[in-house]
Amino acid sequence: MSKITEKEEFIKKYYGETLQRTDDLQTSACCCSDDLLHPLIKEISAEINDEVLAKYYGCGSPIPPALEGATILDLGCGTGKDVYIAARLAGPEGFAIGVDMTEEQLEVADRHLAGQMKTFGYDKPNVKFIKGYIEDLSVLGLEDNSIDVVISNCVFNLSQDKEKALKEVFRVLKPGGELYFSDVFSGRRIPKEISDDHLLHSECLGGAMYTEDFRRLMRNLGCMDFRIVAQKRIRPGNAVIEAKLGMIDFYSITVRAFKLETLEDICEDYGQVAVYRGTIRGYPHYFDLDDHHRLITGKPMLVCGNTASMLQETRYAPHFRVSGDRSVHYGPFNCAPAYSKKDEGSDSGGACC
Ligand SMILES: C[S@@+](CC[C@H](N)C(=O)[O-])C[C@H]1O[C@@H](n2cnc3c(N)ncnc32)[C@H](O)[C@@H]1O
In tens digits, the chain (353 residues) has pLDDT values of 557 888 889 999 989 988 888 888 888 776 666 666 899 999 999 999 999 999 999 999 999 999 999 999 999 999 999 999 999 999 999 999 999 999 999 999 999 999 999 999 999 999 999 999 999 999 999 999 999 999 999 999 999 999 999 999 999 999 999 999 999 999 999 999 999 999 999 999 999 999 999 999 999 999 999 999 999 999 888 888 888 888 899 999 999 999 999 999 999 999 999 999 999 999 999 999 999 999 999 999 999 999 999 999 999 999 999 999 999 999 999 886 554 444 333 333 323 33
Backbone φ and ψ of 336, nearest 5° = -60, 135
CA distance 47 to 334: 44
- Nearest-atom number in ligand 1 for the CA of 100 is 22
Ligand 1, atom 18, lies closest to the CA of 133
> Which atom of ligand 1 has the smallest separation from the CA of 165?
19
What is the pLDDT, as a whole number, of residue 345? 35
Instruction: Check if the beta carbon of residue 302 is closer than 8 Å to that of residue 272.
Output: yes
SS3 at position 242: helix
> Which amino acid is located at 25 in the chain?
L
According to DSSP, residue 15 is labeled: I
Distance 153 CA to ligand 1 centre (A): 8
- Most informative mutation of 41, 101, 200 for ligand 1 (most atoms within 8 A of CB): 101
pLDDT value at residue 273:
98
Which residues sit with their C-beta closer than 6 Å to ligand 1? 11, 15, 30, 56-58, 76-78, 81-82, 100-102, 105, 133-135, 153-155, 158-159, 204
* pLDDT at residue 337, rounded to an integer: 56
Q: Are 293 and 308 in contact (CB under 8 A)?
A: no
Q: With contact defined as beta carbons under 8 Å apart, do 283 and 211 qualify?
A: no
- The residue whose CB lies within 8 Å of the most ligand 1 atoms, and thus the one to mutate among 158, 181, 203, 252, is 158
Q: State the Cα–Cα distance between residues 38 and 45, nearest whole angstrom.
A: 11
User: Which atom of ligand 1 lies nearest, measured to the CA of 59?
Assistant: 8
CA of 135 to the centre of ligand 1 (A): 12
CA distance linking residue 218 with residue 166, whole number of Å: 8
pLDDT at position 2: 58
Residue 339: the pLDDT is 45
Ligand 1 centre to CA of 217 (Å) is: 21
pTM: 0.93
* CA 202 to centroid of ligand 1, rounded, Å: 10
Nearest CA to ligand 1 atom 20: 133
Domains assigned to the chain = 6-258 (3.40.50.150), 272-344 (3.40.5.100)
Mutate to test the pocket of ligand 1, among 100, 154, 201 (most ligand atoms within 8 A of CB): 100
Spatial contact of 197 and 206, defined as CB atoms under 8 Å apart = yes
